[in-house]
Structure 1
Amino acid sequence: MAERKRMNTAACPVARALDVIGDRWSLLIVRDAFDGISRFSDFQKNLGVARNILAARLKALVEAGVLEAQPASDGTAYQQYMLTAKGQTLFPVIVGLRQWGEGNLFRRNERHSRMVERASGQAVAQLEVQSTDGRQLAFNDVVVVEKAT
């Protein structure tokens, strides 16, 4: 199987981000980490992913600084994988993907999980892109420009 092309030196931030978290297993591992899963066996059970693929994705996420491997909190010989501060900044990405999926991939009234605020039980508001003064922006309101070094 051909090795995938690395995008870690691309000028595009989206390409660099996808180099780290751009496959389904990596994103689902991060999603599960936000849901409190931290052990290899629990990731495997929840995702149904092959052990070798899971091990490779966990290693890559640790190397990228998204997860940190540390001794298990229960004192066993196992490791647990915890989101780093860098990994925690992926929260809006996961919420955005969830909201996009809810809005575009389910039939009306089809059952699915939903995200609610822990304290109130209320639904999480739809993410939106805003200007610095708080106005909602659409895709045609923005343009990508090269940043001067």
Structure 2
Amino acid sequence: MVTVASRIRLEDRECPLSTTVEHVGEWWTLLILHDAFDGYTRFDQFQENLGISSSMLTARLKTLVTDGLLERRPYQTNPVRHEYVLTNLGRSLRPVIVALAAWGNSQLAPHERSMILVDAESGEEVEPVVVDARTGRRLDDSHAYVFAAGPAAGDAMRNRYAHGRPAAPAAGPEAGHP
């Protein structure tokens, strides 16, 4: 991904969650990607489906292209018009979008769900879960899986995960404690 002017704190730049949110954490970005997964490619399709202003859509599409999630391709020459097609990097976000939608649906009763994920062949609703590719075990057990400092971790990240669990923030006046 291309590095852009960042809104994240310097100490968070090595955190994969912080850097990911920097690229895809904006409301319209996730909805545009969702539409792209549904086969939308043209500016007018995104705009009509989302009800987004031209200026906002232009800005979001430009960012998605700059970040390498979408590719801008001409589909018409007179006048020149472009479509926006998912790249491999963009397509790799599909499980994230599916997981977010599944989490949203999990907060609703089955009859309240306006969109569900189904098996393309059988039409049966599926229950998306995130699993470890090696073992097939679900990752939603916060006791079985924890984050740890990786090989490129700086001192702050290594200190945070020194004991296999994040260190609790220090209490003190800045935390609202005397």
Distance 1:35 1:26 in 2: 14
CA RMSD of aligned residues (A): 2.3
Any runs of at least 4 consecutive aligned residues in structure 1 with deviations exceeding 4 A, and if so which? 6-9
Who is 2:130 aligned against? 128
Deviates most, 132-141 or 45-54? 132-141
Partners of 1:7 and 1:19 within 8 A in 2: no
Who is 1:65 aligned against? 68
TM-score of the superposition, structure 2-length normalised?
Answer: 0.73
Report percent identity of matched pairs: 37
TM-score of the superposition, structure 1-length normalised?
Answer: 0.86
Who is 1:115 aligned against? 117
Distance 1:43 1:7 in 2: 32
Q: Within 5 Å, which residues of 2 pair with 1:1-149? A: 5-6=7-8, 10-72=13-75, 77-104=80-107, 106-130=108-132, 132-137=134-139, 138-149=141-152
Bigger radius of gyration among the two: 2
Partners of 2:72 and 2:82 within 8 A in 1: yes
Deviation string 1:89-136 (CA, Å, 9 cap, x unpaired) is 0010010011001111x3452241212122221223321333732223
Unaligned runs of 5+ in 2: 153-178
Alpha-carbon distance change, 120 to 143 in structure 1, aligned in 2, over 3 angstroms: same
Alpha-carbon distance change, 113 to 135 in structure 1, aligned in 2, over 3 angstroms: closer
